[in-house]
Amino acid sequence: METDRETAYFEEISHYLKEISGFNLSISAKDREVLFEFFSKGYSPDQVKSLIKKEILKYPPEKRKKFRISYIEKYLKKHPKNKKTEITINDKYNKWKGVVSRLKIPESVLQVENTPEDLKDIAIQKNILNYIWKKLPEQEKEKIKKEAIQKLKKRFILTNIDQKTVLKSIIREILKEKYNIK
C-alpha cells in the first residue's frame, strides 16, 4: 500500500514527465518500481527530475513519446544514494564554469537567478553563445551567416518555417560546434 508521500512523489514525477516530454505519458508498473527504488534510496523529486531531463534531452522531441522512467534506472547503479553523495543540479554549472574559463568569457554570463531551475542550463548556454556572437569580428559573423543560410536551404522547406528564428538556431548550432559547447 502506497503512503501519501509516495503517491505525491509519483504524481509529481508523472506531471514533470508529461511537461518535459510534451506528451501525455503515463507511468507503467516497471516505471513505478524504478521510482519506488529512487524514493526508498532517498532521492528527492528534484534529483529524479534532473536525471529524467538529462536522459530525455538525448532524444529528439518526436521520439520522446516513447521515453520510459525505467531508462534512468542505470543511475541507481552508477550513483547509489547515501548521505555523502548526492546527484545535484549544481553539477551542471561546474561544466559551464569550465567552458567559460576555457573560452575566457566573464563569469557574469552564468548568472541566471530569475530563471526557473529546469531552464537554467539552457539560459546559461544561450548567454554564452550570445556573448561569443557579440565579440566575433564582422567578417567572421558574415562567414557564419553564409554557412547558416546554406544549411537552412538544404534542411528546410522555406515556405513552412519562420526563417529568421530557424536561422538563429542554425547559427547557435554552428557556434556550439565551432567552440565545442555542449
Where do the structural domains in the chain lie, given as residue ranges?
Answer: 4-78, 90-178
Provide the pLDDT confidence category of residue 51 given band limits of 50, 70 and 90.
confident
Taking the CA atoms of 140, 145, 148 and 150 in sequence, report the sign of the dihedral they define: negative
For residues 34 and 70, the answer to whether their CB atoms sit within 8 Å is: yes
117: DSSP letter: G
Residue 28: pLDDT band (50, 70, 90) is confident
Residue 123, all three cell numbers: 539560459
Report how far apart the first and last C-alpha atoms of the chain are (Å, whole number): 43
Taking the model in full, what pTM does it have? 0.48
50: nearest Cα among 107, 121, 143, 104: 121
**How confident is residue 2, by pLDDT bands cut at 50, 70 and 90?**
low
* Higher-pLDDT residue of 141, 26: 141
**How many CB atoms are closer than 10 A to CB 21?**
18
Q: Is the pLDDT of residue 81 over 70?
A: no
